[in-house]
Structure 1
Amino acid sequence: MTDSALDPALDGLNDPSAEPQAEPQAEPQAGLLPALPAEGEPISILHLEDSDLDHELVVINLETDLPWKVNITRVEDEEGFLAALENPPHLILSDFSLPGYDGLSAFKATHARYPNLPFIIVTGAMGEEVAVDTLRQGVTDYILKQRLERLPSSVRRALAEADVRDSRERAEREVRELNARLQARLLEVERLKGVAERQSQRLEVQAKQLEEALNLQKTFLAETSHELRTPLTALLGYLRRADREAGGSQVIADAQRVTENMTRLVNDLLQLSRGELVQSVEMHFMNLGNLLRQVGRDFGVRVDVQDVEIVGDPGRLTQVFVNLVSNAIRVCGTPDKVFIDMHLRPGEVEVNVIDSGPGVPDHIKPRIFDKFYRGKEAGSTGLGLTIAQQVVTTHSGRIDVLDTPGGGATFQVRLPLLEEDDDLDDGFA
C-alpha cells in the first residue's frame, strides 16, 4: 500500500473493487502484455532511475522477497525508457524526478501504449498532494525510498491486479470477437432467409401456374371426351345395326369391339377430368384365354395361353392388355417382337406381355405407371399404363414391369384364380 505518512483515504484509490476512474483509456498500440509467470520463473522489470545506489537498493529488496527470478533493466533518461518500452516488461519502477524527465511523464507514455502495465513510483520525497494526484491519474502505487521494505508486497499486489485486469480484457476481447462473428452469421442467416423467401414466392407462383395448367388439362379432357363420345356412340350404333343386317360378320364384330374399347377409353378420360380414372367395373365369370387370343388376333402378336376361368370385367381387362400390347408394338416397331404367354401359379394366373425391344431403364420403372408420365424409352402414352394398373388393382391383382432375358421389357399381370382352380398344374412353365 501507499506510505502510511499520507492520508489513509488514499488506499481506496488502489482498491481493485473501487469505482473506475472516468479518465478515458486509449487502446493499446503495442502487443499484449506478457503473461504473469509462475513462481520461480523470471520476471522482467524496467527501472527508470538515475542513481546507482538507489537502483542497487531496489534490486536487493526485490531479489530477496519476490517469488520469481528478477530480471531488472535499468534506464536513466527518456530516450532509453521509450526504447525499452518496445518490449514491454511485467512491471515498471520509476523515480519521480530525473534530470530532463519525470516519473509522471514516463507513466503517461507507458499508459498510452499499455493501459494495464503496472507502474510504481519509487521516490525519495513526495508531498501528499502530489501523491494523491499521481494516483488519481492512474499510477498503480508509490513507495518512498526510505520504506523500500514495502516494495515487494506492492510489486506482488500490482502484478496480481494487472494480471486480473489483463485476463478480463482478454476475455472481453474474445467475447467481442465472438459477438462480431455471431453478428456476421446472423447477417448471413438473414440473407439466406431472404433468399428462401424469394424462392418460396417463386415456388408459390409455379404452384399456381401448375394448378392452372392442371385445371386447363381437366377442362380439355372433359371437353374432348364429350366431343368424342357423340360420334363414337353413333358409330357403335351403326356397327350394331350392320352386324344384325349382315348376320354375324366377324369383321363387323371386330370393328364393334374396337369401337367399344375406344368408347370406354373416352369415358375414362371424362372420369379422369372429374378426379376418378376407373370408376365402374362389372365383374362376372369370363374366359381369360379367349380374351388374350382375341387381343393377339387384333394386333397380330403370338399368343401361348390356355382357357382359364376367372371373375373379372372382360371390357376392362381387354383395355389392360390392349394398352400393354399396343405399347410393346410401338416401342419394338413390329408385332413380330411381341409375345403373350400364361402361367398358372398357386391361387393366381400370371400373364406376361413380352417384347424384345429397347427395354425400360431402371430409373423409369418406379414412375412408369404414374398418371401422365411419358417415358420415351418405355413408350408410355402417359395414361394407358395408369389405366391398366388401376384396372388390375380393382381386380385384386398386380402389375409389374420386368426385364426380358436377352433384352426388352416384360409386363407381368397377376390375377386371382377361382377357388376350384387353385390346384391346377402349370402346363406352360
Structure 2
Amino acid sequence: MTQRLRVLLVEDSPLDAELTLARLDAAGFVYDVTTVDNAADFSAQLAQTEFDIVLADFVLPSFSGSEALALARAFSSELPFVVVSGVLGEEHAVDMLKQGATDYVLKQRLQRLPPVVRRALTERDERRHRIQAERQLRETETQFGMVIDALRDYAVMTLDVDGRVRTWNAASQGILGYAAHEVLGRSADFLLSADDRAQGVFAHELSQAQRAGSCGDDRWLVCQDGRTFFGSGVTTAMRDEQGALTGFSKIIRDTTEARVAADALRLAKEQAETANRAKDHFLAVLSHELRTPLTPILAAVRLIQLKTRLPQDLQHTLEVIRRNVELEARLIDDLLDLTSIARGKLSLNFAQVNLATLLDSAVDMSSVDIDAKRLHIDTRLRARDTTVMGDAARLQQILWNIVKNAVKFTPSDGAIRIEMHNPDPVHIAVSVTDTGIGIDAAALSRIFSAFEQADASIGPAFGGLGLGLAIAHTLALKHDGTIEATSAGRGRGACFTLTLPLVEAAPLTGDAPAASVVDPAASRALNVLLVEDNVHTSMAMAQLLEVFGHRVAVAASVGAARVLTDADRYDVLISDIGLPDGSGLDVVRYWNGVQDGAPSIAITGYGMEEDIRRSRDAGFANHITKPVNFDRLEALLDVIAQSPAAREKRVPPTE
C-alpha cells in the first residue's frame, strides 16, 4: 500500500513488536507507528491522534486485549482492531470478534498479518463509502443516481411509497440477475423467499423504515435463477423538504462468504464448547480414577510407620513410596490448575500473609531431596517488610516450584542460595540461585511456557511435564507480581526471582482474648462416620483413624450412610463424593439436617475448582483432594476434637 498508515501498536514485548512491524515492512506498507503497553497511554493516544488501525496483543502484564478493544470502540466503532497474540485460543478469539474485533492473527502465523490488515482497511473504506452513499441518497435524487452508478458491489434501487421498484442500478443486475426492465414497477418483495413473503417481512421493513428512518434487512435473498445468497441491506425512507414520504432507497450487498464464515465460526465455537465440557468431564473422571488408588497407599505407608518399628533402610523405602505418591498427585494438580488457568476459572482467596513463613515451608517441603543430594543451602533473609496480600496456598505453590526446580536441576553436593530482600520500599523479592545445569539464552524466552522445558534432553533426564514454572508465572501475575529467570548459560546455574508488592501489615490489637490451651491427649477421641465405597481406601483409612485414637463407623453408599446417621450421634463426617447410589453431596445434605450441623469433610478425587465449590455449597466444611494428606486430616480432626461441642460428647479413646 502506498498511503502512509497511522498504526497504534499495543505490545509489551519489543521483540514481538519488531517481528510484527517487520511483516508490514515486507508487505510494502508505509506507516507511522505508536507503541503503548498500558490503558492510560492507549486512551491518551486515541484521544490525540486519528489512527487507521489498532494492532493489539491479547495479554499484557497490566492490560488486556479485551480492555483495549472496549476503549477503542468507545472512541470509534469504525476503527479497525486486529488482535495479534501468541496465546489466543479459539474461545477467546470468538469472544473478541463478538465484542467488535475486526480479525485476529496468531503470532505463530504472522504471515497472515498483511492480508488481514489490507482486508480490515478495505472493509473500513467500504463501510465509509456505504454511509456516504446513504447520506447522498437522502439529499437529492440526482446525487443518488450519480452514487449508485459508481457503486459496483452494491445493488442499489429506489422504491415508491408502496415498495415498487422505481430505479435499478447496474450492480443490481449483476448481483440479482434481473435487468431493469424486468423489475421496474414490481413490488421488491420478489427478492425474498416464499416463507418471508408469506410472513409479510417486506411490508414490515417498509413500515419500520418509515417510522425509524431506516431498517436493516440482512437475510437470505433469491436471485432470478433461483440461487440464494445472504444479502446485507438497509432500507431507508426518503422524504421531501416538507417531510412527506416520497419512497425508499434499498441497498444490498452480497455477504454470503462472510455469513458462511460466521456460521462456521459459530459452529466451531459450539463444538469447542462441547469439546471443553467433554474435556472437563474427562479430566475430572481421570483425576478421580488416578487419585483414588493413591489414598490407600499413603494410608498403608502411614500405618506401617506408626505401628511398626522398622530398620532404617525400610523407613527410607517407605519415604520413597510416600514422596512418589505425592509427586504423582502434584502432577495431576498441575494439569487441573493449567485447565483452570486456561479457562479463567482459577479462584484465589486473598488475605495478608507473611512471605517469610511461606518460604520456610517451601524449603521444608524439599528437605528430603535436599538431604538426599547433600545440597548446601545458603539462606539470606534480609527483608525488613515481608507482608503481602495474596492466596497463601498459591504463593507457597510458587515458592515451592522455584525451590523444587533448583533442587531438581542441581547435582549432588551442589549449592543453592535463597535470598529475601526489599528491592525498594514497596516490594519484596525472593531469589533462588543454584549451581545446576543452567539455561541456554535461547530457552529463557520460553521457560515459563506450558509443557516447555529448556531442551529435549531435560524431560527424559529429569522428568516432569513442564507445567510447574508456567503455573507459577501465571500465579505471580495474578498477585500483581513477576517471576523472572536468568542464567549465564548451560552448566552455569540459574536464578529465579519472585517479586511481589508489599502491603502494610495489620496492627495487632492488645485486647484480643488469649487462646485456651487444650490437652491434645484429653481431647483426641472422636466418633467418626466414614463414607467411602472403595474397600481398600475405607479399610486403610479406618485403621489409620483408629490409630489416631478415634472410633470409626464405615458406610459404602448413600443409603448406608443415612441409616448410620439416623442410628447414632457422630462428631464428624468424612465422605467421598463419588458413591455407587448417589453422591457425597446427598450425604452431607442429609447429615446437616440430622446431626445438628456437626462438622463434615469431603474427600474426593475430583479436585477442580468447580468440584470444591460444589462440595462447599452442599454443606461440607472442608475439602481434601485425594490422595489424602493425612497430616492435614489429622490437624482438622484435632481442631474439631478441641471444639466445645466435641468435648461435651467425648467418646472413650479406643485401645
Same fold (TM over 0.5): no
More strand by share: 2
Q: Could you state the TM-score of these two structures normalised by the residue count of structure 2? A: 0.26
Higher Cα Rg, which structure: 1
